[in-house]
Amino acid sequence: MAPPFVYINGYPGVGKLAAARALIPMITGAKIFDNHSLIDATAMVYERGEPEYQPLRRKMRRVVLDSIATSSSRKDNTWIFTDQQSSSEDGSAAVKDYQLAAGKRGSPFVSVILNCELEENLRRLSGSGRGVHNTKLTDAEILRHIRDTEDIYHVGGELELEIDVTEKTAQEVAGIIKEFLGMYKPKFAGLFIAERSFDDIKGFKHTFVHDLMGMKAGTEIDLLCWVDKPRNHGRLVFCNVVDNTGKIQAIFDRVLVEDAASAASFVPEIGPEVGVNLILLDGRL
């Protein structure tokens, strides 16, 4: 499995890039892609309020993410992304671009939300050097408006970490993120599937959880996923099946799992019954 995508989201000025930079020396081969790399490039062509601004920024984001997702030169790098996306339609669509790129690469998508109390956020926003050579926000009134009208987008799930950074240094925040990544290292590394190895899933074509809605009964697919919170009820095991796009409840037949050592059919709570070949990344039920 490819190293994770670490997606750091939060209001302007909370310290996302500082935390990302502090995290770099803690993770071998980690690289940063700051959202202002896209914003600054787009602003060289269009003003933010012009109709061409958002389409160009979206196209650039998708080109960059697709290149990262399919790159052989960067396949062993952990990528750290910084962003400021709200729960609006545009914000959620932007986050989905990162999630889909992670899925295409075979990387776990780790969402990190940085929160900060208003007064400290305002103090950090006015820090020396911020916005001098780029498009970083420095207007306190605009920040107040953003905080009053926009909620930071939450992916949800067990691979999301939320940190109050009000009284924390960038180094401390990076340490918390690093510890969180370490907690889930077995899930990133584990593979439990008959006759499949790590090499087998490189370029593996599979279905995402969000694609299950609307599928016809009897459809057979391959789903690359994590198994979360299993609940043992004798022969049947109920659990959440999770990937970078969503979560559904599954029912496993324990006899089938033990006999086949890998595959089972399950019945999603949503949508029609779908026959699925599961690739489990949790290592065990």
Q: List pLDDT tens digits, range 113-137.
A: 999 999 999 999 988 667 666 788 9
Distance (Å, rounded) from C-alpha 267 to C-alpha 263? 13
Residue 217 predicted with pLDDT over 90: no
Identify which has the larger pLDDT, 203 or 169.
Answer: 169
Ranges of beta strands (E only) in 84-145 are 109-115
Distance (Å, rounded) from C-alpha 201 to C-alpha 199? 6
Summary mean pLDDT of the chain? 78
At residue 195, the pLDDT reads: 33
Strand ranges across the sheet with 246-253: 246-253, 236-243, 220-233, 275-280
pLDDT band at 267; cut points 50, 70, 90: very low
Residue 253 predicted with pLDDT over 90: no
Residue 278 predicted with pLDDT over 70: no
186-206 confidence digits (pLDDT tens)? 444 332 223 334 444 445 556
At residue 163, the pLDDT reads: 97
pLDDT band at 210; cut points 50, 70, 90: confident
Cα angle value 29/34/38 (rounded, 5°):
130
- Please give the backbone phi and psi of residue 71, each rounded to the nearest 5 degrees, phi first: -75, 135
Cα 181 to chain centroid, rounded: 12
145-154 confidence digits (pLDDT tens)? 999 999 999 9
Identify which has the larger pLDDT, 99 or 279.
Answer: 99
Residue 70 predicted with pLDDT over 50: yes
The pair of structure tokens assigned to 126 is 């006015």
Coil, helix or strand at residue 195: coil
At residue 193, the pLDDT reads: 28
Residue 282 predicted with pLDDT over 60: no
* Number of other residues whose CB lies within 10 A of the CB of residue 166: 16
Identify which has the larger pLDDT, 241 or 196.
Answer: 241
- Mean pLDDT (whole number) for 166-183: 93
> For residue 36, what is the DSSP state?
H
Of 112-126, 151-165, 226-240, where does mean pLDDT reach its minimum?
A: 226-240
Cα angle value 170/58/107 (rounded, 5°):
55
Find all residues with CB under 8 Å of 50, minimum gap 6, and list them: none
At residue 200, the pLDDT reads: 46
Residue with tokens 């062993």: 76
Nearest Cα residue to 176 out of 5, 8, 43: 8
Strand ranges across the sheet with 109-115: 31-34, 79-83, 5-10, 109-115, 160-164
- Please give the backbone phi and psi of residue 208, each rounded to the nearest 5 degrees, phi first: -95, 160
Strand duo 5-10 + 79-83: pairing: parallel
SS3 string, 43-63, reads: HCCCCCCCCCHHHHHHHHHHH
- Mean pLDDT (whole number) for 268-279: 42
Residue 56 predicted with pLDDT over 50: yes
